[in-house]
Amino acid sequence: MAGKTLFDKVWDAHVVHQIEGGPDVLYIDRHLIHEVTSPQAFAGLEKRGLKVFRPQNTVATPDHNVPTINQHLAIKDELSRFQVNKLTENCEKHGITLYGLGHPYQGIVHVIGPQLGITQPGMTIVCGDSHTSTHGAFGAVAFGIGTSEVEMVLASQCIMQPKPKRMRINVEGELKEGVTAKDIILYIISKITASGGTGYFIEYAGSAIRSLSMEGRMTICNMSIECGARGGLIAPDKTTFEYIRDREFAPKGDDFDKAVEKWRTLKTDEDAVFDKELTYDTADIEPMITYGTNPGMGTNISGNIPSESDIEASNLVTYKKALKYMGFEPGQQLEGIPVDYVFVGSCTNGRIEDLRAVAEFVKGKKKADNITAWIVPGSRQVEQQAWEEGIADILEEAGFKLRQPGCSACLAMNDDKIPAGKLAVSTSNRNFEGRQGPGSRTMLASPLTAAAVAVTGKIIDPRKLL
Amino acid sequence: MAIAKFVTIESTAVPLPIENVDTDQIIPARFLKATTRDGFGDNLFRDWRYDKEGNPIPDFVLNQNVYSGEILVAGKNFGSGSSREHAAWAIHDYGFKVVVSSFFADIFKNNALNNGLLPVQVSEGFLSKLFKAIEEYPATKIKVDLVNQEITLLPTGDKEQFDINSYKKECLLNGYDDIDYLLNLKDKIEEFEKSRA
Ligand code: SF4
């Protein structure tokens, strides 16, 4: 019998029941909830007269819809306030731990899970948010679900899921200077397209992946969904164990050692077979940026937007529609395009390492006059660390202001909206039409590139300033 | 809690020949502030459907009176991006019962099925045929028969089989929902928990 992949090992260990010709009933170890995709699930539960089955396995925090300035004041927007209050009410009623606004642990769900040690190797983790794939960086099977499924987890700690196929993506070699985890994943998505991973769960492997910090690995797994994959994961190793050690909810002392022993077995067997396998070479990966309206439309920042002749016939309609929306020309050079906004934040790149990268780059420099920059930490802990490490001061001297944690302009549900027509370089994960505000235009890039753009006011290869 | 039983549908269709329609387009984030499941249909495709002042954009298909029906026929990779179930609610609330495409994003597909909205995946070739037929003759009727897993372009009789797992098919046909199923498994779930302790 062929060996098992890491994904199979974790998935199979959680199957409570198999339905013939149907989905697996999968047990969920950790469930994260936030204010936007949970209220209807609680309402459904109550309509059925049910209690939350295992309240201790769910953790809640408001993030999508919260202001990023003056968080100590009541939320101005009535609907947002109602939604956040509803979360508080539901958690109180059902005995669920809530890290509300102002709590030192509040933040974007996918930033706080790992930071608090809630996320651990070998777990199944779900959340009503597609970027739950982030937690896969720890060797967990983690994926986003819809609200009906949130209700299922609340009611039974299980969901019903057809098992995805397995894909492995190997990235081999040493990263070139100025190339970051974000560039790797933007490169991969540009190669396999925004739908190339649909139906799959991706394992990322290879020397380049292993060389990444946990933050970098999270950035990679986070964007798995942007190529359509259900999730992505990376085998846990020393880097993983060291990251988890001593975190609030991590096992301690002997328990930690025992856990590590178990976690070490979480890797793909040598003779395991994948449904699809791809390998990329870091020699081909440069700093990346997107030019279109899905994350697959990315290219080398030092290059040009592809011309029509580079695009496959079946993608031409999307390509033309995207360029029209972005106001770009086929074949146009990317460097030099003037930019209006820079957004550093989100569950993709709103962790402390990302803020450090930006601070290091902008230290002693000033932001360009034409740039409005929003720097939004992924959590209160990140925010606090940024103050403690002097990052906030460096940013301020360079003309930026550190805001308060939340999803912010990543999806622009709160007031942090890029105005119509304005062009933003963003460290988030989606460049869809209007994603950052109606009519806004988004180019996705790494924190390093975003910092270079903030300083020069236009698209630039960050390596020119290193 | 039962959802409506899915019956065979014969209806005209609305064509949306755009690829990679993401859920941010289906229902933009600023309309996700509601805490109930109703009323999202009003804002379905909001930013393609209305301009900044809230006036209908005449070019957009939902604003063209010639097209109507219970079937939405859309380009490849429909429903990508955000997991928001609000996208499925909005489509269903607007009055669609079926979405046809050559490719669906996984989460959207689950969300649709959980709300009695049937995603029908057809070949690229059949999808082009549908677009062509509807655009040439908007009164074209399409039949979606879940029992036989068959979609038929009625005027020509062209048909194609589509896939759905047998469990979900039973659920849709009978109006069952997953939570009832899971609640019946409680003992097994508790057993599983014990075996891991
Ligand atoms: S930061 Fe953006 S992608 Fe991440 S959870 Fe928030 S809205 Fe979703």
Q: What is the CATH number of the domain that holds A275?
A: 3.40.1060.10
If asked whether residues A152 and A189 sit together in one domain, one would say: no
Q: A429 CB under 6 A from ligand 1? A: yes
In a domain, A1, yes or no: no
The distance of Cα A285 from the centroid of its chain, to the nearest Å, equals 20
Task: Quote the mean pLDDT of chain A.
Answer: 97
The distance of Cα A218 from the centroid of its chain, to the nearest Å, equals 7
**Interchain contact, A146 vs B36, CB within 8 Å:** no
**Interchain contact, B28 vs A48, CB within 8 Å:** no
Region A195-219: what's the mean pLDDT? 97
Q: What are the pLDDT digits (tens) for A389-398?
A: 999 999 999 9
Which residue, of A161, A194, A227, is where some domain finishes? Answer: A161
In a domain, A252, yes or no: no
In a domain, A247, yes or no: no
**Interchain contact, A19 vs B167, CB within 8 Å:** yes
Atom of ligand 1 nearest to the CA of A345: 1
If asked whether residues A154 and A171 sit together in one domain, one would say: no
- Which residue, among A26, A156, A311, A410, would best test binding to B if mutated, counting the most B CBs under 10 Å from its CB? A156
Which residue, of A137, A161, A185, is where some domain finishes? Answer: A161
Task: Label residue B1 by pLDDT band (50, 70, 90).
Answer: low
Q: What are the pLDDT digits (tens) for A168-202?
A: 999 999 999 999 999 999 999 999 999 999 999 99
Asked whether the CA dihedral A35, A36, A38, A42 is positive or negative, the reply is positive
Q: What DSSP string describes B39-73?
A: SGGGGTTHHHHB-TTS-B-TTSGGG-TT--SSEEE
User: What pLDDT is attached to residue A13?
Assistant: 98
Radius of gyration of chain A (CA): 21
Q: How many helices (H) and strands (E) does chain B have?
A: 8, 8
If asked whether residues A333 and A362 sit together in one domain, one would say: yes
Chain A residues inside the 8 Å CB shell of B84: 36-37, 146
Radius of gyration of chain B (CA): 18
For residue B3, pLDDT over 80 is answered with: no
Nearest to A146 among B85, B188, B193 (CB): B85
Residue A305 CA to residue A329 CA, distance in Å, equals 8
Residue B7 touches chain A, beta carbons under 8 Å: no
pTM, to two decimals: 0.96
Q: Residue A25 — φ and ψ, nearest 5°?
A: -90, 115
Task: Label residue A317 by pLDDT band (50, 70, 90).
Answer: confident
For residue B80, pLDDT over 90 is answered with: yes
Pairing status of strand A158-161 against strand A141-144:
unpaired
Q: Are the C-beta atoms of A108 and A60 separated by less than 8 Å? A: no
Residue B181 touches chain A, beta carbons under 8 Å: yes
Region A315-344: what's the mean pLDDT? 96
DSSP lists the bridge partners of residue A98 as A60
If asked whether residues A228 and A303 sit together in one domain, one would say: no
Nearest to A198 among B25, B103, B165 (CB): B103
In a domain, A74, yes or no: yes
If asked whether residues A15 and A126 sit together in one domain, one would say: yes
Distance from CA of A333 to the nearest CA of B (A): 25
**Interchain contact, A430 vs B82, CB within 8 Å:** yes
Which residue, of A161, A188, A205, is where some domain finishes? Answer: A161
Ligand 1 centroid to Cα of residue A228, in Å, is 16
Distance from CA of B189 to the nearest CA of A (A): 6
Cβ burial of A170 (10 Å; 0-12, 13-18, 19+) is middle
Element (H, E) at B96: none
If asked whether residues A415 and A295 sit together in one domain, one would say: yes
**Interchain contact, A16 vs B34, CB within 8 Å:** no
In chain A, whose CA is at the least distance from the CA of B124?
A314
In a domain, A245, yes or no: no
**Interchain contact, B28 vs A40, CB within 8 Å:** no
If asked whether residues A326 and A421 sit together in one domain, one would say: yes
If asked whether residues A23 and A117 sit together in one domain, one would say: yes
For residue B9, pLDDT over 80 is answered with: yes
Distance from CA of B28 to the nearest CA of A (A): 8
| Domains: count for chain A | 3
Task: Label residue A312 by pLDDT band (50, 70, 90).
Answer: confident
User: What pLDDT is attached to residue B4?
Assistant: 83
In chain B, whose CA is at the least distance from the CA of A407?
B29
User: What pLDDT is attached to residue A315?
Assistant: 84
Q: Are the C-beta atoms of B70 and B95 separated by less than 8 Å? A: yes
Distance from CA of A22 to the nearest CA of B (A): 5
User: What pLDDT is attached to residue B2?
Assistant: 60
**Interchain contact, A145 vs B34, CB within 8 Å:** no
Region A138-166: what's the mean pLDDT? 97
In a domain, A255, yes or no: no
Region A417-441: what's the mean pLDDT? 97
In chain A, whose CA is at the least distance from the CA of B128?
A314
In a domain, A396, yes or no: yes
- Of the two residues A241 and A22, the one the predictor is more confident about is A241
Atom of ligand 1 nearest to the CA of A430: 3
Residue A132 CA to residue B42 CA, distance in Å, equals 29
In chain B, whose CA is at the least distance from the CA of A52?
B183
Q: What are the pLDDT digits (tens) for A44-98?
A: 999 999 999 999 999 999 999 999 999 999 999 999 999 999 999 999 999 999 9
**In the A/B pair of chains, how many CB contacts fall below 8 A?**
187
Q: Are the C-beta atoms of B73 and B100 separated by less than 8 Å? A: yes
If asked whether residues A74 and A192 sit together in one domain, one would say: no
User: What pLDDT is attached to residue A464?
Assistant: 97
In a domain, A251, yes or no: no
**CA–CA distances in Å: residue A355 to residues A382, A414, A448, B13:** 9, 22, 9, 49
If asked whether residues A434 and A307 sit together in one domain, one would say: yes
Check residue B37 and report its DSSP letter.
Answer: S
**Of A298, A307, A110, A279, whose CA–CA distance to A194 is shortest?**
A298
For residue B67, pLDDT over 70 is answered with: yes
Candidate from A407, A436, A444 with most ligand 1 atoms within 8 A of CB, to mutate: A407
Chain B segment 102-121 residues within 8 A of A by beta carbon are 103-107, 110-111, 114-115
Question: What CATH number does the domain containing A133 carry?
Answer: 3.30.499.10
Percent of all residues in chain A with a pLDDT value above 70, rounded to a whole number: 100
**SS3 labels along chain A:** CCCCCHHHHHHHCCEEEECCCCCEEEECCEEEECCCCCHHHHHHHHHCCCCCCCHHHEEECCCCCCCCCCCCCCCCCHHHHHHHHHHHHHHHHHCCEECCCCCCCCECHHHHHHHCCCCCCCCEEEECCHHHHHHHHHCCEEEECCHHHHHHHHHHCEEEECCCEEEEEEEECCCCCCCCHHHHHHHHHHHHCCCCCCCEEEEEECHHHHCCCHHHHHHHHHHHHHHCCCEEECCCCHHHHHHHCCCCCCCCHHHHHHHHHHHCCCCCCCCCCCCEEEEEEHHHCCCEEECCCCCCCEEECCCECCCHHHCCHHHHHHHHHHHHHHCCCCCCECCCCECCEEEECHHHHCCHHHHHHHHHHHCCCCCCCCCEEEECCCEHHHHHHHHHCCHHHHHHHCCCCECCCCCHHHCCCCCCCCCCCCEEEECCCCCCCCCCCCCCEEEECCHHHHHHHHHHCECCCHHHHC
If asked whether residues A410 and A386 sit together in one domain, one would say: yes
Structure tokens belonging to residue A425:
């370089």
Q: What are the pLDDT digits (tens) for A246-274?
A: 999 999 999 999 999 999 999 999 999 99
Ligand 1 centroid to Cα of residue A135, in Å, is 13
If asked whether residues A134 and A197 sit together in one domain, one would say: no
Enclosing domain of residue A14: 6-161
Pairing status of strand A288-290 against strand A298-300:
antiparallel
Chain B segment 148-167 residues within 8 A of A by beta carbon are 165-167
Q: Whose CA is nearest to atom 2 of ligand 1?
A: A410
